[in-house]
Amino acid sequence: KEFGEISLKDIDQVARSSFPLCMRHLFDSLRDDHHLKHGGRMQLGLFLKGVGLKLDDALAFWKAEFSQKVGAERFDKEYAYGIRHNFGKEGKRTDYTPFSCQKIILSTPGVGDHHGCPYRHFSEENLRAALGKMGVSSRELEQVVDKAKGRHYQLACTLTFEAIHGASCDTGINHPNQYFKASQNILKE
């Protein structure tokens, strides 16, 4: 396995240890609902491509979930295209880049959508619950919630990173894939 590739068997563990909250929320929602709407499929799909999930593994990953909801046949007909498209294998063959924090923060998730930045788009109650699940202690949790309320979303994410990893992140978080890499670097030390 090449450096920076993740395999399907590791994905749940890696999601727990190294995904930022936005991706963790999409990942968990997909595992729970076996479905994600278009905005979520784009945001999570491109992130997973960025962390090194190969096209074949990506197709297997999405199919395993969506099949439980819509059936394998409908997945192949309606959803596989979008995944290949993310990898530049369909349509204009653009190799799409994973979304930055700025782009995610400025997105406008509607009812039933799970994409977006939780520090901006979650209610305070949901944010608190999500941070607790991430393992942020109560004192640090208050600081994160304060930053989010003050609209410093990326700073809130940086504080979460530091709380979970017990290490500082001097550059601050500006991209979900940067969060992932920084986390993996610390965990592999």
Bind-site residues: 22, 101, 117, 157
User: What angle in degrees, to the nearest 10, is found between the helix axes of 124-134 and 153-165?
Assistant: 30
Contacting residue, 6, 20, 44, 131, with ligand SF4 by CB under 6 A: 20
Closest CB to ligand SF4 among residues 2, 168: 168
Closest CB to ligand SF4 among residues 83, 130: 130
CB of 46 to ligand SF4, least distance (A): 12
Q: Distances in Å between the alpha carbon of 98 and those of 108, 132, 167, 176?
A: 17, 27, 25, 8
Beta carbons of 158 and 172 less than 8 angstroms apart: yes
In the chain, which residue ranges form alpha helices assigned H by DSSP?
11-18, 21-33, 38-51, 55-70, 72-74, 80-86, 101-105, 118-121, 124-134, 138-149, 153-165, 176-188
Identity at 28, one-letter amino acid code: D
Residue 104 lies near ligand SF4 (rule: CB under 6 A): yes
Q: Distances in Å between the alpha carbon of 28 and those of 2, 32, 140, 164, 168?
A: 26, 6, 23, 18, 26
Contacting residue, 127, 153, 162, 164, with ligand SF4 by CB under 6 A: 153
Contacting residue, 39, 50, 98, 176, with ligand SF4 by CB under 6 A: 176
Structure tokens at 150: 């003050």
Closest CB to ligand SF4 among residues 59, 144: 144
Beta carbons of 119 and 127 less than 8 angstroms apart: yes
Structure tokens at 8: 């399907």
Residue 154 lies near ligand SF4 (rule: CB under 6 A): yes
Contacting residue, 42, 101, 136, 141, with ligand SF4 by CB under 6 A: 101
CB of 62 to ligand SF4, least distance (A): 20
The window from 1-9, 126-134, 152-160, 163-171 that contacts ligand SF4 (CB under 6 A) reads 152-160
CB of 179 to ligand SF4, least distance (A): 5
Interacting residue ranges for ligand SF4, rule: CB under 6 A: 20-22, 101, 104-105, 117-119, 153-154, 157, 173, 176, 179
